[in-house]
């Protein structure tokens, strides 16, 4: 009987694996914040990990502790964690890796690298994103688990990568992966959200000022009509 050997490249993530250029970190933060906003606004019990450690195992049973750039567990809730233990908590539904010069080969390798490790674990959806299009012309590449294994994750007619397990979808916008909510609407970034809230406050203040002015004019007219 042959012994199952772990992929040669599988290793616990180091600081070098987790630190990247500005566009690498911005892509991660954008995705994390958007997914957290969706979970909060729709009251979903997701835990969205930001380079959080996943305590898992290699195909031969040895310990493996990767730290996916983005990891969504569908049931653990928003409380902050030091790690997710796959044996105790179950596997995340989705992991996303943002490619960088130092990690692209390892992340993309579906035979011996990180993608292979995630598939061996049985994670439902695995998605890779290339901020600058340096390593993948299509910018996204992924796999979705099926009854018989994995199939390539293809974009829909709108060019979005729809998550069957979470209901959200992803599409590239410049160097960022943008997230669309379960209704198909683009989730605004934090800066966009602040501008939207500021505009709403401005419009509300203008409306209240207009109403106050009309009320004052009405009171003035009533005063003129009184004997």
DSSP class of residue 186 equals B
Sequence spans of domains, the chain: 15-187, 188-227
| φ, ψ dihedrals at 47, nearest 5° | -115, 120
DSSP class of residue 2 equals P
Beta strands in 86-139 (DSSP E): 94-98, 125-129
pTM above 0.75, yes or no: yes
CA distances for 120 relative to 39, 56, 132, 139, 171, angstroms = 28, 11, 28, 24, 26
The backbone region for 144, taken as left when phi is positive above 0, alpha when psi lies in -120 to 50, beta otherwise, is: beta
CA distances for 69 relative to 189, 205, 211, angstroms = 18, 41, 50
Tens-level pLDDT at each residue, the chain (227 residues):
444 555 557 888 776 666 668 889 999 999 999 999 999 999 999 999 999 999 999 999 999 999 999 999 999 999 999 999 999 999 999 999 999 998 999 999 988 899 999 999 999 999 999 999 999 999 999 999 998 899 999 999 999 999 999 999 999 999 999 999 999 999 998 765 555 444 455 556 567 666 667 676 667 667 666 65
What is the CATH number assigned to the segment(s) 15-187? 3.90.1570
63-64 vs 94-98, strand pairing mode: unpaired
């Amino acid at each position: 009987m042959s012994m199952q050997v772990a992929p040669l490249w599988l290793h616990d993530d180091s600081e070098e694996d987790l630190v990247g250029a500005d566009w690498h970190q911005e892509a991660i933060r954008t995705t994390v914040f958007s997914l957290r906003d969706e979970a909060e606004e729709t009251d979903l019990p997701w835990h969205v990990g930001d380079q959080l450690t996943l305590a898992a195992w290699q195909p031969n049973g040895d310990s493996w502790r990767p730290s996916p750039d983005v990891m969504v567990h569908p049931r653990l809730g928003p409380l902050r964690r030091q790690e997710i233990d796959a044996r105790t908590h179950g596997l995340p539904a989705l992991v996303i890796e943002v490619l960088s010069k130092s990690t692209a080969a390892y992340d993309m390798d579906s035979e011996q690298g990180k993608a292979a490790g995630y598939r061996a674990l049985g994670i439902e959806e695995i998605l890779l994103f290339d901020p600058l299009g340096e390593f993948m012309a299509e910018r996204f590449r992924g796999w979705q688990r099926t009854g018989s294994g994995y199939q390539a994750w293809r974009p829909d007619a709108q060019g979005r990568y729809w998550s069957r397990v979470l209901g959200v979808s992803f599409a590239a916008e410049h160097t960022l992966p943008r997230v669309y909510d379960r209704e198909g609407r683009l989730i605004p970034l934090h800066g966009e959200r602040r501008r939207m809230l500021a505009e709403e406050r401005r419009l509300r203040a203008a409306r209240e000022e207009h109403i106050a002015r009309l009320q004052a004019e009405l009171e003035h007219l009533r005063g003129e009509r009184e004997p």
